Amino acid sequence: MDRKEFLATVGIGAVAALCTSCLAACNPLDPMVNPPTTNVDFTLDLTTPANSALKTNGGFIYNDNIIVARTVDGSYIAVSSICTHQGNTVAYDLAANRFHCPAHGSNFATNGSVINGPDGSPLMTYKTTLNGTSLRVFS
Ligand code: FES
């Protein structure tokens, strides 16, 4: 094997090792890879079937990596659905009135703050306003 062949072989091996490592570790929703959306402004029509979960306390939907939930008291809240630990998707837990990540057990208050980890970073929060049957979610 000459020098040129050696370098080509080592180079291909290094690229393959890096790709394999990244594919195994990189979660496309990882907050380090895909941070929460900061420029948000959309409106949900609460009369459409896709948003029907928001007619009931405890119901929630996902829209562009944001979870919009109707809380125990009937108010609407919106936070990033991307867990700040390793990027899994959080869900609203009506019984505890909090957001829960099933991957490793993180819990977040309705204001996005951490109740318990493993990660200590809060979820990004968004504002909501209800006008009739239109729910605006914005940053
Ligand atoms: S990814 Fe949510 S607790 Fe680990």
Given this model, what pLDDT does residue 131 score? 97
Given this model, what pLDDT does residue 30 score? 61
Q: Average pLDDT of each block of 10 consecutive residues along the chain (139 residues)?
A: 57 44 48 73 97 97 97 97 95 98 97 92 97 97
- Is the pTM here over 0.75, yes or no? yes
- For residue 90, the ligand 1 atom closest to its alpha carbon is 2
What separation in Å is there between the alpha carbon of 95 and the centre of ligand 1? 20
Compute the Cα dihedral for 52, 37, 110, 91 and give only its sign.
positive
User: Who contacts 87 (Cβ-Cβ below 8 Å, separation ≥6)?
Assistant: 27, 28, 29, 30, 31, 32, 33, 34
Residue nearest to atom 1 of ligand 1 (CA): 86
- For residue 117, the ligand 1 atom closest to its alpha carbon is 3
Per DSSP, the residues of 51-88 read: GGGGGSTT-EEEETTEEEEE-TTS-EEEEESB-TTT-P
Given this model, what pLDDT does residue 120 score? 79
Is residue 69 within 6 Å of ligand 1 at its C-beta? no
Residue type, position 86, single letter: Q
The token pair at 77 is: 């809240």
Q: What Rg, from alpha-carbon coordinates, does the chain have? A: 20
Is residue 46 within 6 Å of ligand 1 at its C-beta? no
Given this model, what pLDDT does residue 13 score? 47
- Residue corresponding to tokens 């990027």: 87
Is residue 85 within 6 Å of ligand 1 at its C-beta? yes
- For residue 87, the ligand 1 atom closest to its alpha carbon is 1
Given this model, what pLDDT does residue 18 score? 40
Is residue 110 within 6 Å of ligand 1 at its C-beta? no
